[in-house]
Amino acid sequence: EDKVVQSPLSLVVHEGDTVTLNCSYEVTNFRSLLWYKQEKKAPTFLFMLTSSGIEKKSGRLSSILDKKELSSILNITATQTGDSAIYLCAFNAGGTSYGKLTFGQGTILTVHP
């Protein structure tokens, strides 16, 4: 059974800190790995990582895919209170399951002023 595991499940930091969120996966037909940020409502897209694009960066956020270790990390530098949210990683399967997303449990990040 395909599985996505995130760690830590929750994290509390202060503004200005740097955080690293982890995502590991065991899937039979990997196509891509995605990171989402969820605040009060639905998730918003952050990054997509594939075999041809294993590192992405946008402002203070960056993400790397380690295909050998079957894992990915999401880094947030100089955290702000607005970064407080649930961060979800999900994998997108290929083959007959194309397009379906399997989500990890999420990491609840709390950034204190």
Partner 1 sequence: GAVVSQHPSWVICKSGTSVKIECRSLDFQATTMFWYRQFPKQSLMLMATSNEGSKATYEQGVEKDKFLINHASLTLSTLTVTSAHPEDSSFYICSARVPSGNYNEQFFGPGTRLTVL
- Residue 52 as a binder of partner 1 (CB under 8 A): the answer is no
Report if residue 100 touches partner 1, rule: CB under 8 A: yes
Does position 61 bind partner 1 by CB under 8 A?
A: no
Say which residues have a Cβ less than 8 Å from residue 70's Cβ, sequence separation at least 6: 24, 25, 26
Specify whether the CB–CB gap between 96 and 28 falls below 8 A. no
Part of the chain binding partner 1 (CB under 8 A), chosen from 18-26, 54-62, 65-73, 96-104:
96-104
Three-state secondary structure call for residue 84: coil
46 contacts partner 1 (rule: CB under 8 A): no
